Structure 1
Amino acid sequence: MTIPPHGVITRGTGNDIIESKLMLSKPSVGSPTFILVMVCLMVLPEAANDKSLSDELESSSGPNMPEEILVHPTTGAIVLASVNDVPVYDVEVERQLDRLEVFEGLPETTLQIYRSSVLSQLVRQQAVYSYLQTTEFRASEQEVDLAVAEVKKTLANRGQSLDEFLAGGKADMAMLRRNLAWKIVWNRYLESYLTEANLRRYYERNYPQFDGTTRRIAQVYLGDPANEESFEWDKAFRNTVLMRDRIQQGELTFAEAVKQYSMSPSAADGGDLGWIGYHGPLDPRIHEAAFSRPVGDVVGPIQTRFGIHLLYIMEEKRGTTKWEDMVDEIRAAAASYLFAHVADRYLSDARVYYFGEDEATEMDPSFVRVFQKEFVAP
C-alpha cells in the first residue's frame, strides 16, 4: 500500500488537553513564547496510551491492523495515523479545529479538508520530535520529571489534581511526558538556530514579507466568472503556458499578449493591476506569485477560483518598516521555515501510516495564512 504524504479525512471530538503552566498566560503573536506554545499545541493529542498502543503497533502492519487496535481502549479515541509507532488521534485534530474559530460555520466538506491538513501537520511535528530526540537537543528523563512537577504545582494552585486533569483531557502520563519533552527540545532547537545573525539573514532573503515592500504588476487574464461551469479550464491553462513560453522566447511581448488575449477590464490599461504588497486583498496565490521572482520576470500560469492569470512584475518599492519593529514577526516566520525544513528532511525517514478515508484535496488558499499563523509551521 502506498502511504500518502499528507493527512486523511476523519472525524472526532475532544477538549483541550494541556492547560498547564506552559499555557496559563497568553503570549503575543510572534513572540518566542507564542512560537513554542503554538507549535507545542500541535502535538497534544487528547487521547493516548503511547506505550501500550506503541507495543501493539510494532507487531502490526499499519493498514492491516485489526480495527480494535485503532481505538483507544479507555477513551475510545480513534487512531488516524502513526509516526514511528506513536499514534495520532482524532480528538487532537478536532481540538485544533475548535481553536481556529474562523472555521466555525463552514460546510462539512470544507471541514474535512482542514481535518486532513491538521492531521498532516501533526504527523510532521511528530517526525520532527522523533528526530530531535536523537540529537544533542533531546530532553532527558530528569528534565521531563521537573516539568511534570511544575505542571502538578500549577494544577494544585488551581485546586485540581493531575489525575483529574488528565482524565478530563482524555490523556495519560505517557502523553503528558511526551508533550513536555517536545516543548523542551523545540525550545532548545529554536534558541540554537534563531540567533540575531540568522534572523537578519532570513530577513534579507524575505524582506518583502515584513517591511511593507510593494510591487507593481500586470496580468493576462483568461476566465469567465459569470459562466464558470462552461469555462474550459484545462484549455485555458495550456494556452497560457504556450503564451508564457512565447513571451520568454521573444516571439510575443507581454503588452501584445494582454491586448490579444486578456479577458479582464485591466486589459484596457495594458493589464496593469497597480501596486500590491506581499499580503493583500487579492487571491493569496497572486500575492505570492508577484513576489516569487525578480522584477522583470513573467510568472504563471496561476489558477485561482476566478480564472487563469499570467503576471508580469513591473517595478518594486522597498518598504520603510525598521528591523527593530519586525523582530517578533521575523522570528515567528523563521521558526515556521525552520520547522518546515526539518520536517521535510526527516519525514521520509519516519515510519508513517495513515488510517481512514482517502486523502483530502488541497486547502483553500484563502485560509492558508490563517492556518500558518495559528500553527507556526506551513
Structure 2
Amino acid sequence: MRICPRFGCSILAASLALAILPAPAAADDEPQVLATIDGEAITSADLELLCTSRGLAYPVEQPLRAQLLNQLIDRRLIRAFLDRRKVVADPDQVTARLDLIRKVISASGEDFAKVLERLGYTEDSFRREIALPLAWQAHINATVTDSQIREYFSAHRAELDGTRVSARQIVLLVKDDAPSREEAETRLQQIRADLLAGNVSFADAAREHSDSPSGRDGGELGTFPRHGAVAEPIARIAFSLKPGEISEPFQSSRGVHLLEVTDRTAGNLSLEDVRPQVLRRLSQQTWQQQVAAERERTDIRILD
C-alpha cells in the first residue's frame, strides 16, 4: 500500500528546487523563537528554511506566515506521535529517496553537500525530514484497513467513480461587504420562489438576472466532475442536488449563486480504479485527526 500524502510529496518536490534557490539571508542575531511545543522551540530559522525550500521569499507576511508556522507545528507533533509509537521509516526507502534527490541536485551541476549546508541541513537532519512522510506511510499501512477503504469509497462514490453532473446557475456578483451579500441573497430567494412556483424558467431567469457571462446561455455551466472543473462551492452544491432540484442561495468568493442540476451521469470507476486516491484521502484525513488530537494534549505556545 503506497501512500504519498500532501506533506510527504512536498519533500521531494521542494528538494528538486533546492539547487537553484538562493541561500537564505544571513542573520546577525540569534533566531527568534516563534513557538514552543512542550518547551521545544520552533524558530525563525525553521520558518526561513521552510520558505526557502518552497521557493518563497523570506520573510513572509500574514496570513501565510501563520499558515507555515502551523505546518511546522503539525510536523513536529506528528513526528513526536510516531516516535512514541516507535514507527520508523524503512532505512532502504529513506536511502533510495535521498539518492534520488542527490542525483537530481548533482545533475543540475550543484554540489549536494553544499546545497544542504546553505539551507541549514546536515545529511542526517535531511534524512530525518525525508523519513517523516515515509514513517507516516508505514503508520497508515499498518492501521488503515480494507474495510475502511471500502466504507470511504461507498460514502464518497459520486466524488470518486467519475460521476458527472450538468447544471446551470444564476450568480449575482457582489463586493465583500456583508450588506451587499445579504441583499443579493434576498434577491435570489425571491427569484427561487418564482422558479419553484413555475412563474419563470431557470434559463429565462438566468438571462435576465445573472451577472455571469453564462447568463446569456441560460446559465449553462456544462457537465463536470466533482473536483477540478468548476469552483469548489459550485461543485459541492451541485453534487448534493438531484436532477431538477434548485439550491438555496449560497456564497462563493465571487458572489451569491443559485444552482439547478439538470442531469447526472453515474461514473463507472471501481474501487480498484481509484484505490490510490482513496488511500491518499484517508491518509490526509488521518493526519488531520491525529494533529487535532496531538494539539489537545500538547502545550503549544505561539510567540510570533
> Which bracket does the TM-score occupy, shorter chain normalised?
0.5 to 0.7
Residue among 247, 250, 261 paired with 1:301: 250
Deviation at 1:211, TM superposition (A): 2.8
2:37 equivalent to 1:83: yes
Structure 2, unaligned stretches of length 5 or more? 16-26, 107-112
Deviation readout 1:19-40 (Å, 9 max, x if unpaired): xxxxxxxxxxx94256683376
User: Whole-Å Cα distance in 1 between the matches of residues 138 and 279 of structure 2?
Assistant: 15
Residue among 5, 25, 38 paired with 2:9: 38
For 1:206, the equivalent position in structure 2 comes to: 156
User: Whole-Å Cα distance in 2 between the matches of residues 128 and 302 of structure 1?
Assistant: 35
For 2:293, the equivalent position in structure 1 comes to: 345
Alignment of 1:1-378 (within 5 A): 31-32=2-3, 37-38=8-9, 76-98=30-52, 100=54, 113-134=63-84, 137-139=85-87, 167-171=117-121, 179=129, 182-183=132-133, 185-223=135-173, 231=175, 233-242=177-186, 253=196, 259=205, 261-267=209-215, 270-291=218-239, 293-295=240-242, 296=245, 298=247, 300-305=249-254, 307-356=255-304
**2:241–2:247 contact (8 Å) kept in structure 1:** no
Structure 1, unaligned stretches of length 5 or more? 1-29, 45-72, 225-230, 357-378
Deviation at 1:79, TM superposition (A): 3.4
Deviation at 1:232, TM superposition (A): 7.2
Count of residues in correspondence between the two structures: 277
User: Whole-Å Cα distance in 2 between the matches of residues 349 and 182 of structure 1?
Assistant: 21
Deviation readout 1:186-240 (Å, 9 max, x if unpaired): 233211233333222222222344332212223231116xxxxxx5742332134
* Counterpart residue type for residue 33 of structure 2: V
Q: Equivalent residue of 2:42, what SS? A: strand
For the aligned residue pairs, the C-alpha RMSD in angstroms reads 4.9
Give % identity: 18
* Counterpart residue type for residue 223 of structure 1: L
Q: Equivalent residue of 2:250, what SS? A: strand
Deviation at 1:333, TM superposition (A): 2.2
> Relative to 1, partners in 2 of residues 1:339 and 1:297: Cα closer, same or farther, differing over 3 Å?
farther
Deviation readout 1:17-69 (Å, 9 max, x if unpaired): xxxxxxxxxxxxx9425668337679x9xxxxxxxxxxxxxxxxxxxxxxxxx
For 1:21, the equivalent position in structure 2 comes to: none
Which deviates further from its counterpart, 177-186 or 232-241? 177-186
User: Whole-Å Cα distance in 2 between the matches of residues 348 and 195 of structure 1?
Assistant: 26
> Relative to 1, partners in 2 of residues 1:266 and 1:339: Cα closer, same or farther, differing over 3 Å?
same
**1:94–1:115 contact (8 Å) kept in structure 2:** no
**1:217–1:290 contact (8 Å) kept in structure 2:** yes
**1:133–1:185 contact (8 Å) kept in structure 2:** no
User: Whole-Å Cα distance in 1 between the matches of residues 53 and 65 of structure 2?
Assistant: 13
TM-score (norm 1): 0.55
TM-score (norm 2): 0.65
Which deviates further from its counterpart, 215-224 or 252-261? 252-261
User: Whole-Å Cα distance in 2 between the matches of residues 348 and 238 of structure 1?
Assistant: 37
**1:212–1:321 contact (8 Å) kept in structure 2:** yes
Q: Equivalent residue of 1:201, what SS? A: helix
**1:80–1:90 contact (8 Å) kept in structure 2:** yes
**1:244–1:298 contact (8 Å) kept in structure 2:** no
Q: Equivalent residue of 2:161, what SS? A: coil
